[in-house]
């Protein structure tokens, strides 16, 4: 498990009203779990060529810092939820071609307290190609999968973890999707909007009665492999506005959180249809 270096003073100062004693955040990264516990974030309730399934990255000791939180919502959703979500994400050309950052959106289910997240991670170039990794995970007890891109368990807890590494061109816009494919089964895919290529991340099945997808939640940019505040890998990412059933919502930046406020050359600004975030200097 990742060791999160965060003072007790910070933890106590950032508690939110909904926090209960001894919460266990199974399935989220330890850094992200600490952010939820500290009150920075809300813990609610592809058939592509050259795609390679990957196991979860090993946990490493790191500083808890240099991270960003977001909110997203889609107005007018049905009271029963929706059966698909699309999260546009662009890893812009200024991003370092190295592992260490994760760009993700969380999602929840109507009848579950836990949920999942999906997104993209920069990876080192390989064989002359730029690389990204797609992630699609459930943190719900009783989730199962037989997909070769997935494994049971999520970050040492209950759930399912799915991941795939693939060739890319930095600057391409991707639609990262969560879609219902059966009564209790869901799949995560990535659509390259520049050429229509679809990359499959994974599929999993939830316990019966989990319900459909909620139409609002949170997102984040997380450093998961950063040794110090002065060694933050450079990234430049655009989160487009989410969509479902032809209805477009909004993505908004909330705050930076962690041990490195003001230390990462943070820049946040509007994009054509969402929010753009840039940070870091290494790489």
The pLDDT confidence band at residue 54, using thresholds 50, 70 and 90, is very low
**Burial bucket for residue 1 (CB in 10 Å: 0-12, 13-18, 19+):** exposed
In order of start, what are the domains of the chain with their CATH numbers? Answer: 4-279 (2.60.120)
Q: What is the pTM of this model?
A: 0.80
Dihedral (C-alpha) 35, 269, 125, 228: value to the nearest 10 degrees?
-40
Q: Which residues pair with 202 in a beta bridge?
A: 188
**Is residue 139 helix, strand or coil?**
coil
**Burial bucket for residue 266 (CB in 10 Å: 0-12, 13-18, 19+):** middle
Distance CA 203, CA 186 (A): 6
The pLDDT confidence band at residue 187, using thresholds 50, 70 and 90, is very high
Q: How many helices (H) and strands (E) does the chain have?
A: 2, 20
- Across the chain, mean pLDDT equals 81
CA 44, distance to chain mean position in Å, is: 14
For the chain, percent helix, then strand, then coil, each to nearest 5? Answer: 5, 50, 45
Is the predicted pLDDT of residue 53 greater than 80, yes or no? no
Is the predicted pLDDT of residue 27 greater than 80, yes or no? no
Q: How many residues does this entry show for the chain?
A: 283
* Range scoring the smallest mean pLDDT among 63-67, 119-123, 170-174: 63-67
CA 180, distance to chain mean position in Å, is: 19
Better pLDDT: 178 or 55 = 178
């Amino acid at each position: 498990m990742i060791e999160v270096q965060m003072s007790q003073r910070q933890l106590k100062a950032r508690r939110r009203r909904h926090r209960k004693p001894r919460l266990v955040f199974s399935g989220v990264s330890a850094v992200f779990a600490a952010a939820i516990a500290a009150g920075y974030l809300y813990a609610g309730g592809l058939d592509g060529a050259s795609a390679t399934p990957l196991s979860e990255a090993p946990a490493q000791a790191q500083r808890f810092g240099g991270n960003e939180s977001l909110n997203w919502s889609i107005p007018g959703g049905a009271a029963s939820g929706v059966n698909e979500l699309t999260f546009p994400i662009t890893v812009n050309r200024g991003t370092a071609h190295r592992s260490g950052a994760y760009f993700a959106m969380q999602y929840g289910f109507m009848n579950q307290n836990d949920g999942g997240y999906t997104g993209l991670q920069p990876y080192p170039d390989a064989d002359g190609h730029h690389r990204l990794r797609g992630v699609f995970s459930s943190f719900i007890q009783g989730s199962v999968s037989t997909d070769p891109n997935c494994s049971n368990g999520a970050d040492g807890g209950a759930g399912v973890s799915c991941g795939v590494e693939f060739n890319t061109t930095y600057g391409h816009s991707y639609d990262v999707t969560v879609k219902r494919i059966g009564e209790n089964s869901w799949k995560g895919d990535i659509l390259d909007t520049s050429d229509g290529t679809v990359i499959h991340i994974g599929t999993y099945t939830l316990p019966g009665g989990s319900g459909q997808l909620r139409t609002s939640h949170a997102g984040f940019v997380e450093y998961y492999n950063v040794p110090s505040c002065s060694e933050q890998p450079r990234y430049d990412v655009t989160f487009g506005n989410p969509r479902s059933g032809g209805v477009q919502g909004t993505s908004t930046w909330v705050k930076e959180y962690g041990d490195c406020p003001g230390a990462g050359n943070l820049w946040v600004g509007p994009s054509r249809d969402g929010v753009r975030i840039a940070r870091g200097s290494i790489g």
